[in-house]
Homo-oligomer: A and B are copies of this chain.
Amino acid sequence: MIKYILNDKLVDQNKAMIHVSDLALLRGYGIFDFFRLIGLKPLFLEDHLNRFYNSARTLRLECPLDRDTLRSMILEMIKSNKIHDSGVRIVLTGGESPNGYYIGEPTLIVLNEPIKPLPESHFTEGIRLVSHQYLRDIPDVKTLNYLMGIYHLPDIQAAGALDLLFHWNGKISELTRSNFFIVDQNDRIVTAGKGVLKGINRKHVLQLAREEFEVEERDIFMNELPAAREAFLTGTTKKVTPIVQIDDIVIGDGRPGPVTQRLQQMYDEYIEQYLKRY
């Protein structure tokens, strides 16, 4: 039987239940983080734990487990479940509220979920996006609020797109669950430096990019897209994914560009080295 973590215990997956008075359910109040396993090795676990505890602090949620205990319970869960190439989702909720609105004692839940592999064409041919005017609430925190992304799924699917690209007053922020990059007319790799959730893969890809390219963290505007040479996204399961079209704007020549392809290659090598050191 697959095990999940519920507060300070490993429990059978089908017994991982929370009470309906939890503030995450009644008011959408909580945070999470998500990382993947390669085989059974967790990728960038320490980065994800950093961000998880930071998100918790910003939302005034005290995790019932300290970092060392949480880490060792997660590793125990992974070892017990043996679900290769799966995902681990750490959720911290507002807890059972005394009045349906004030924060209670947070509930910690760690799920271990299979990940359906993306088709190879996702990485070799790239994907399309639909732009949408929206500002995420508390953008630097990984909150549970994905209302807009899920609400718009039918529009996204009707456009043959993978996701939404959020922008506000012409300024592009991010996708629903990924960071956004362009290669501009001066061959610089550009991504938003503020007002976005700072992805863990964003961080590692930026670090790799700086080895071979000029990199700039600055605001990106919708009106830069027609002249952008390339665009790509980074994310935990989507790694480095080429973006070939946004609404009716074809990016570059409509195929993954050389900078994106080089970063994909560097990323794969980097992960290989990471796993060797693990």
> B-contacting residues of A (Cβ < 8 Å)?
4, 6, 14, 16-30, 32, 59-60, 89, 91, 93-94, 99-103, 109, 111, 113, 116, 134-135, 137-138, 143-151, 153-154
Contact = CB atoms under 8 A, between A and B. Distances in A.
A142 B28 CA distance: 12
A109 B20 CA distance: 8
The 3 closest A-B pairs by CB, nearest first: A28-B28, A17-B17, A27-B146
Contact of A153 (B102, B111, B138, B153): B102
A91 B150 contact: no
Contact of A91 (B25, B32, B102, B138): B25
Chain A interface, >50% SS class: mixed
Given A143-B147, A146-B27, A89 B94 contact: no
A148 B144 contact: no
A20 B4 contact: yes
Contacts of A29: 146-147, 150
Contact of A137 (B18, B102, B148, B153): B148
13 contacts: A6-B20, A17-B20, A25-B25, A27-B145, A27-B150, A28-B28, A28-B143, A28-B144, A28-B146, A101-B149, A102-B150, A135-B135, A137-B147
Given A20-B109, A137-B147, 13 more contacts: A4-B20, A16-B19, A17-B17, A17-B19, A18-B25, A26-B91, A27-B145, A28-B147, A29-B150, A59-B151, A94-B150, A102-B153, A137-B145
